[in-house]
């Protein structure tokens, strides 16, 4: 199939395989979180999408709103974690972390939590290249007061960006070994050797291969739906502005006149 990497060629740096290995090996995932955050973590529970347990967890707050599909989503007693594998960078990554943070909070509130019950949350992006061009291997962000930098807001939200290509000076050896392994180097310690073994074992996991193809089809359908919606909104605007008639607009879609008119009226009433 065009534009899709063969399942047998997936590496840990591919988001699907990374998510599967971390979700099905909580101890391995907890070790990674401990390396990144620099502290012990008591307990975490991987959380899958109940409607599609074979693929990444999806969060959609409204029926027609933009949702997110998380690579690895975990809950602890007092904390939630989202870990994203990011092989390509774009300028919107900081805004994306903001959006993910909001979706996590809305997801918790939707479950009936009061504001004071919101758990501390961590959004973690693992990048193969530097998202901020400062040469660091790790960037950690919290909300602080500009006038008094020692004053932390206390909203208990943390965003962390790892850079596999960054300077490893000053970071712990196990985290450095993990980042070097992601960059394509051979495993050099017990943790990266365990990861490498799990990657090799995944080659024969037929259920994961089916899930991989399923997720690919879902993404294609979502992109196509997004393109179709964008075209329709453009046509609705042209009709509304009197540039083209409804009849002319319908000819450029696969909809019947009745279907187009219904969508147009809904669009106008938003």
pLDDT of residue 244: 82
- Using 50, 70 and 90 to split pLDDT, how confident is the model at 185? very high
**pLDDT mean over 128-153:** 95
Q: Give yes or no: residues 168 and 230 share one domain.
A: no
Tell me which of 203, 238, 258 is where a domain ends: 203
**Which residue from 44, 223, 18, 233 is spatially nearest to 125, judged by alpha carbons?**
18
Mean pLDDT, rounded, for 223-239? 75
Structure tokens at 237: 């605007």
Q: How confident is the model at residue 173 (pLDDT cuts 50, 70, 90)?
A: very high
Same structural domain for residues 151 and 184?
A: yes
Percent over 70 (pLDDT), the chain: 86
Do 179 and 231 lie in one domain? The reply is no
pLDDT computed for residue 68 by the predictor: 61
Segment 32-50 shows an average pLDDT of 81
Q: CA-CA distance, 129 to 59, in Å (whole number)?
A: 27
Domain span at residue 227? Answer: 221-268
Measuring CA to CA, which residue among 148, 144, 156 is closest to residue 105? 156
pLDDT of residue 225: 65
The per-residue pLDDT for 251 is 80
Q: How far apart, in whole angstroms, are the C-alpha atoms of residue 131 and residue 185? A: 21
In this structure, are 63 and 195 located in the same domain?
yes
Q: What is the pLDDT of residue 149?
A: 93
Q: Cite the DSSP H helix spans in the chain.
A: 15-24, 26-37, 93-110, 173-182, 190-202, 206-240, 246-251, 257-268
> What pLDDT shows up at residue 187?
96
Q: Provide the pLDDT confidence category of residue 31 given band limits of 50, 70 and 90.
A: very high
Indicate if 52 and 161 belong to the same structural domain. Answer: yes
Which DSSP letter does residue 118 get?
Answer: P
Question: What pLDDT, in 10s, does the model give residues 87-109?
Answer: 887 778 999 999 989 888 887 77
Domains contained in the chain, number: 2
Percent above pLDDT 90 for the chain = 47
For residue 57, what pLDDT band results from cuts at 50, 70 and 90?
low
- Label residue 177 by pLDDT band (50, 70, 90): very high
Residues 38, 155: one domain?
yes
Mean of all residue pLDDT scores within the chain? 84
Residues 172 and 240 in one domain: no
Same domain, 35 and 149: yes
Q: How is residue 121 annotated by DSSP?
A: E
What's the predicted TM-score (pTM) here?
A: 0.76
Query: Are 131 and 225 found together in one domain?
Result: no
Residue 161 has pLDDT above 90, yes or no: yes
Report residue 136's pLDDT band, with 50, 70 and 90 as the boundaries. Answer: very high
Taking a C-beta distance cutoff of 8 angstroms, is the pair 162, 32 a contact? no
Q: Are residues 197 and 225 in the same domain?
A: no
Q: Are residues 56 and 120 in the same domain?
A: yes
């Amino acid at each position: 199939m065009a534009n899709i990497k063969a399942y047998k060629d997936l590496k840990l740096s591919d988001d699907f395989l990374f998510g599967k290995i971390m979700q099905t090996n909580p101890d391995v995932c907890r070790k990674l979180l401990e390396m990144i955050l620099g502290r012990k973590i008591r307990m975490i529970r991987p959380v899958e999408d109940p409607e599609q347990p074979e693929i990444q967890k999806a969060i959609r707050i409204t029926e027609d709103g933009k949702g997110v599909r998380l690579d690895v989503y975990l809950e602890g007693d007092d904390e939630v974690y989202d870990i994203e594998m990011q092989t390509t960078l774009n300028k919107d990554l900081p805004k994306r972390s903001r959006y993910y943070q909001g979706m996590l909070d809305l997801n918790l509130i939707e479950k009936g939590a009061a504001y004071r019950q919101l758990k501390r949350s961590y959004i973690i992006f693992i990048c193969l290249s530097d998202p901020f061009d400062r040469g660091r291997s790790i960037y950690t962000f919290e909300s602080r007061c500009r006038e008094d930098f020692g004053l932390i807001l206390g909203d208990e939200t943390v965003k962390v960006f790892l850079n596999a290509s960054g300077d490893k000076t000053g970071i712990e050896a196990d985290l450095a070994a993990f980042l070097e392994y992601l960059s394509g180097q051979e495993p050099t310690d017990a943790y990266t050797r365990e990861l490498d073994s799990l990657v090799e074992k995944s080659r024969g996991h037929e259920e994961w291969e089916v899930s991989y193809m399923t997720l690919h089809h879902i993404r294609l359908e979502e992109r196509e739906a997004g393109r179709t919606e964008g075209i329709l909104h453009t046509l609705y605007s042209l009709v509304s502005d009197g540039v083209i008639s409804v009849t002319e607009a319908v000819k450029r879609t696969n909809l019947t006149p009745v279907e187009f008119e219904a969508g147009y009226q809904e669009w106008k009433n938003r």
